[in-house]
Amino acid sequence: MKNLTKITALIIASSALLVGCGKSGASNGSTSSSEASGKITVVGSTALQPLVEKAAENYQADNAKVSITVQGGGSGTGLSQVQSGAVTIGNSDIFAEQQKGIKADKLVDHKVAVVGMAPVVNKDSGVKNVTMAQLRDIFTGKITNWKDVGGKDESIVLINRPEGSGTRATFEAAVMNGQSAKKSQEQDSNGTVQKMVAQTPGAVSYLAFSYVKPTIQELSIDGVKPTDDNVTNNKWKIWSYEHMYTKGQPNKVTKGFLKYMTSDKVQKGLVKDLGYISINQMNVQKDANNKVTSK
Amino acid sequence: MDPIKKKIQSSSRETRQDLLGKVITYTCIALIVLVVLSIFVFVASKGMATFFVNKANFWDFLTGKNWNPSMVDSKGKPMLGALPMIAGSFGVTILAVLFATPFAIGTALYMTEIASHKGERILQSVIELLVGIPSVVYGFIGLSVIVPFVRNNIGGSGYGILSGSFVLFVMVLPTVTSMTVDSLRAVPRFYKEASLALGATKWQTIYKVILRSSTSGILTAIIFGMARAFGEALAVQMVIGNAAVMPTSLLSSASTLTSVLTMGIGNTVMGTVANNALWSLALILLLMSLFFNIVVRLIGRKGRM
C-alpha cells in the first residue's frame, strides 16, 4: 500500500516537472528577440530536410543559446504549418503560389538551394538520351515500349511521384507542357524510387541528382547532360529551388539562421557535399510561374 | 475525545488509500475514453467535410473509379472516386488471410496437439519474433525478394495485389497463429479425452472435436488478422505499386486506402479538398476497424452459447 502513495507522489512530481518545463520553454521563446537565444522549429520538405538538419547542427554548435528542431512531413505540411503560425519556418520544394490553399502573400520566401532532377531508367532499357517530346510521350503513355526511342524491345514501366509532391510538380512544369501524366505507379520516397528503378526492367522515373547512382541510368534530354553546370545556366530545364518560408519577416534569431543557410560556409560546404546546387552559383532565376530570366 | 471512537468514526488510512486508488483508476479510464472519442470526432468531422463543405456526393465517393482530388470534373465537382483504393484494400486483406489461415491453423495444431514441449517453445518464440519485425523491413524484403519473384515466375511488373498479399501473409501469420493457439488451448481437456476414449484417432479428434469446438475462436483470430492487414500501410505501399486505378488483375499495380493516405498527407494543405478527401479515406479505415471489432464481438457472443 505504501507503494501506491509513492507512485502517486511520483506522478504528481513528474507532472509538475513537465509543467515547469513547458513554462521555461515558453519564456525562452519570448525573450528571444532581446538576445540571440530562442527556439526555431523547421518543418516540411523531406528533400531539404537533410541539409537543414546538418546546418542546424553546426549552427547550434556555434550559438549555444539557439535551439533548432527540424522535422520532415512534406512540402504541403511545411507550408500549411508556417501559414497557421505553428512553426517558425516551413520548408518547401515548390513556390507557395503553386500550392493550393496557401495564401502566398502572407509568407516570405528564402531560397536556400537548388535541386536538379534527372529522368532515370533501368539499365536494361538501353536508352541514354531522349528528346523532350519523347520524354513527355513516355509519361503521358503514348510511347509504351523502349524500342520506339531507340532502346530494347521492352515495355515501359512508369514510376511516378505522388500528386502534389514537389518533385512531381517540378518535373511536370518542365517536361509535361500542361499535359497530364498517365495514371501509374506512385512512390513518394527518393530512396524507394531509386531501388525500384534499379531492379525493375523497363522502369523509368525521375530523381534528384544526389540520388542518381551507378545502379541506374540517367537520361540526357536533347543531348544535354544532367549536370550541375547545365542547371546553373538553365540548359538543363528540370530544377527547382528549395524554399524556407517564414510568416511575415523573420525575427532576429530566425534571420540569423536563415542568413547562415545562405552564407558561403553552408553554400560552399554542406550544400555541395549533400548534392544540392548552391543558390549563389545560379546564373538564372525562376519565378513562381516557371518563367526563367537571367540574373 | 475517546481515541477508540475517533478511530471508528474517521476514515482509516486503508479507506483513504482505497479512495485514492479508485480516483487514479477512473482518471486514467476517463482520459483514455476521452482520447478515443476525440480521435473519432476529429477524423469524422474532417472526413465529413468532403461531403458537407466540398459538396462531394457520398455515393460517388464510394463507387467512383476516378481518384484525382486536385482536379474537377465537367460538373465542377472534385474527382473523388475511392473505389480503386477500397477494392485494393479488400483485395490484399482477403487474399492475405486466405493464404495465412491454413498455415496458421496447421501451426497452431502442431503447437498444441503434436509438438513436444520443446518444439512448442521454439515455435512460440519464432512467432513472437515475427511480430517484432518492423513493417518497413517486411516492405524492403518484399521489394527485393517478392516483387522480382512474382515478376519472374508469375508475370507482370511484380507490383500488385498479389505481392502485397504475400507480404501481408507473413505479417498476419503470427497474429492469426497465436490467437488460434489460445482458442485451441481453451478446448476443455475432457472433450479430447472422451473422444480418444471412444476410440477416435488423433486426426479424428482434431478434426471432429477440437477444431469444431474452437471454431468461433479461430474465426475471431481470422478477423483480427484481417484488421491487421487492412490497416498496414508501409509494407504494402512498397510492393503494391500505388496506382490509383481499378485493379484489373492481381498482377497489375493497385493501391490501398492506407498507401494513398500516407503518400498524400504530407503534400496537401489542411482545409483543401485534396486534404479533406484523405481524411474521408481515414474515416473509412476507422469505420472498417470498428466493423471488424463488432464482428469479433458477435462471434464471441455466438461462441459462448
Tens digits of per-residue pLDDT, A262-295? Answer: 998 889 888 988 889 999 888 888 888 878 888 7
| C-alpha distance from B47 to closest chain A C-alpha (Å) | 17
Measured between CA atoms, the residue of chain B closest to residue A82 is: B269
The cell numbers describing A233, all together, are 545556366
Measured between CA atoms, the residue of chain B closest to residue A183 is: B243
- So what's the pLDDT on residue B38? 96
- Provide the residue range defining the domain that includes B21: 3-80
Q: Is the pLDDT of residue A18 over 50?
A: no
**CB-closest option in B143, B243, B269 to A100:** B269
Judged by CB atoms closer than 8 Å, whether chains meet at B270 and A80 is answered as yes
Judged by CB atoms closer than 8 Å, whether chains meet at B143 and A186 is answered as no
Task: Please state, as a whole number, how many other Cβ atoms lie within 10 Å of the Cβ of residue A171.
Answer: 24
CA dist list (Å): B70 to A146, B241, B269: 31, 21, 11
The reply to whether B267 and B157 lie within a common domain is yes
Look up the CATH number of the domain holding residue B172.
1.10.3720.10
Which value does ipTM take for this structure? 0.73
String of DSSP letters for A41-107: EEEE-TTTHHHHHHHHHHHHHH-TTEEEEEEEE-HHHHHHHHHTTSSSEEEESS-GGGSTT--GGGE
**Residue A177 Ramachandran class (φ > 0 left, ψ -120 to 50 alpha, else beta):** left
User: pLDDT tens across A31-49, in order?
Assistant: 334 446 788 999 988 888 8
pLDDT above 90 coverage of chain B, percent: 55
- Domain boundary residue, one of B63, B80, B97: B80
- So what's the pLDDT on residue A33? 40
The sign of the CA dihedral A142, A147, A152, A154 is positive
| Chain A residues with beta carbon closer than 8 angstroms to that of B159 | 185, 200
Specify the amino acid at residue B139: G
Q: Give, in degrees to the nearest 5, the angle at Cα A266 between A260 and A270.
A: 145
The reply to whether B148 and B162 lie within a common domain is yes
Interface test with B, best of A183, A195, A204, A205 (most B CBs within 10 A): A183
> In angstroms, rounded to a whole number, what is the distance separating the alpha carbons of residues A212 and B88?
32
Measured between CA atoms, the residue of chain B closest to residue A94 is: B267
The reply to whether B52 and B162 lie within a common domain is no
Measured between CA atoms, the residue of chain A closest to residue B69 is: A163
Same fold? A37-115+240-294, A116-232: yes
Interface test with B, best of A83, A87, A99, A100 (most B CBs within 10 A): A100
DSSP helix/strand/coil, B48: helix
The reply to whether B97 and B148 lie within a common domain is yes
The reply to whether B273 and B299 lie within a common domain is yes
Judged by CB atoms closer than 8 Å, whether chains meet at B267 and A84 is answered as no
> In angstroms, rounded to a whole number, what is the distance separating the alpha carbons of residues A184 and A158?
6
> In angstroms, rounded to a whole number, what is the distance separating the alpha carbons of residues B113 and B210?
10
Q: Are B133 and B167 in contact (CB under 8 A)?
A: no
Backbone φ and ψ for A115, nearest 5 degrees, come out as -120, 130
The reply to whether B264 and B128 lie within a common domain is yes
Q: Is the pLDDT of residue A236 over 60?
A: yes
The reply to whether B154 and B259 lie within a common domain is yes
Q: Are B81 and B277 in contact (CB under 8 A)?
A: no
CA B150 to chain centre: 25
| C-alpha distance from B162 to closest chain A C-alpha (Å) | 15
| C-alpha distance from B287 to closest chain A C-alpha (Å) | 26
- So what's the pLDDT on residue A165? 82
Q: Are B267 and B195 in contact (CB under 8 A)?
A: no
The reply to whether B75 and B203 lie within a common domain is no
- So what's the pLDDT on residue B264? 84
User: What ranges do the domains of chain A cover?
Assistant: 37-115+240-294, 116-232
Backbone φ and ψ for A283, nearest 5 degrees, come out as -95, -10
The reply to whether B154 and B299 lie within a common domain is yes
Measured between CA atoms, the residue of chain A closest to residue B262 is: A188
- Domain boundary residue, one of B36, B60, B80: B80
C-alpha neighbours within 13 Å on the C-beta side of residue A208 = 25
Specify the CATH superfamily of domain A116-232.
Periplasmic binding protein-like II (3.40.190.10)
Give the closest residue to A212 by CA, choosing from A226, A233, A232, A231.
Answer: A226
The reply to whether B13 and B94 lie within a common domain is no
Collect the ranges in chain B with pLDDT lower than 50: 305
* Average pLDDT over every residue of A204-220: 91
Q: Is the pLDDT of residue A29 over 60?
A: no
- So what's the pLDDT on residue A19? 45
Query: Residue B301, exposed/middle/buried by CB under 10 A (0-12, 13-18, 19+)?
Result: exposed
- Domain boundary residue, one of B25, B60, B80: B80
The reply to whether B233 and B128 lie within a common domain is yes
- So what's the pLDDT on residue A6? 57
Chain-wide mean pLDDT for chain A?
84
CA A247 to chain centre: 19
Measured between CA atoms, the residue of chain B closest to residue A43 is: B266
- So what's the pLDDT on residue B10? 81
* Average pLDDT over every residue of A60-66: 89
- So what's the pLDDT on residue B15? 86
* Average pLDDT over every residue of A217-228: 92
Judged by CB atoms closer than 8 Å, whether chains meet at B275 and A101 is answered as yes
The cell numbers describing B108, all together, are 497452431
The yes or no reply on domain A37-115+240-294 and CATH 3.30.360.10 is no
User: pLDDT tens across A133-150, in order?
Assistant: 999 999 999 999 999 998
The reply to whether B58 and B189 lie within a common domain is no
Dihedral of the CA atoms B185, B188, B189, B194 (nearest 10)?
-130
- So what's the pLDDT on residue A74? 84
| Chain B residues with beta carbon closer than 8 angstroms to that of A200 | 147, 151, 157-159
DSSP A155: B
| C-alpha distance from A27 to closest chain B C-alpha (Å) | 29
- So what's the pLDDT on residue B157? 83
Judged by CB atoms closer than 8 Å, whether chains meet at B263 and A162 is answered as yes
> In angstroms, rounded to a whole number, what is the distance separating the alpha carbons of residues B46 and B274?
12
Strand partners, B241: B254
User: pLDDT tens across A70-82, in order?
Assistant: 988 888 889 988 9
Task: Please state, as a whole number, how many other Cβ atoms lie within 10 Å of the Cβ of residue A43.
Answer: 24
